[in-house]
């Protein structure tokens, strides 16, 4: 099962994201419901773990501890809605990328490469392909209906990112949570 390293949204900001999840669920976008199992977040890395090798989880925990201790809480401004194309599509809230966010993600990628785990990282979370986002709905058949469900959302949304979590998905199981304290 994959292991992710995520930046979690603090409780105040999480309410605004959960409100969007609720509206999407009420509009019949059922795949949104599984989001409620874990806090709103920005995924920095997803690493696929070889079941016979615990290096991925060990790396993720160590990297979260090290980087969490060096990183102050981050501010994030969600500026718009966007879609990762495909069938089905993925709807997400798109933040205005900050240098601090991009540098943190790049540092994580560099550490994975240095430990020989770069090949374990999923392509969309490698530094050259990273698109910061907060997932709203993973399986959108009708993008227009999804966008309609969120009409009236007040933008921008200003959030604080307060911890680095190591999470095994699905179902979401938090293996370690490290407050940002740097």
Residue spans of the domains in the chain: they are 3-176
pLDDT at 9 over 90: yes
The candidate with the shortest Cα–Cα distance to 35, out of 73, 65, 9, is: 9
Higher pLDDT, 119 or 39: 39
Counting Cα atoms < 13 Å in the Cβ hemisphere of 64 gives 28
Q: What is the pTM of this model?
A: 0.92
Angle between helices 99-114 and 55-70 (to 10 degrees): 140
Q: How many CB atoms lie within 10 A of CB 141?
A: 12
pLDDT of residue 182: 77
Superfamily of domain 3-176: Cyclic phosphodiesterase (3.90.1140.10)
């Amino acid at each position: 099962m994959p292991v992710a390293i995520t930046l979690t949204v603090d409780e105040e900001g999480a309410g605004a994201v959960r409100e969007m999840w609720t509206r999407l669920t009420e509009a019949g976008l059922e795949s949104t419901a599984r989001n409620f199992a874990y806090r709103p977040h920005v995924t920095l890395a997803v690493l696929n773990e070889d079941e016979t090798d615990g290096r991925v989880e060990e790396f993720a925990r160590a990297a979260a501890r090290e980087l969490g201790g060096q990183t102050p809480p981050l501010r994030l401004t969600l500026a718009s809605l966007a879609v990762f194309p495909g069938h089905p599509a993925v709807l997400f809230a798109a933040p205005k990328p900050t240098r601090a966010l991009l540098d943190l993600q790049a540092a994580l990628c560099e550490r994975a490469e240095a430990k020989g785990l770069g090949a374990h990282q999923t392509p969309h979370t490698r530094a050259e392909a990273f698109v910061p986002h907060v997932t709203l709905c993973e399986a959108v058949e009708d993008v227009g209906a999804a966008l309609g469900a969120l009409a009236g959302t007040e933008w921008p949304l200003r959030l604080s990112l307060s911890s680095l979590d190591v999470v095994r998905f699905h179902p979401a199981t938090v293996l370690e949570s490290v407050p940002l304290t740097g």
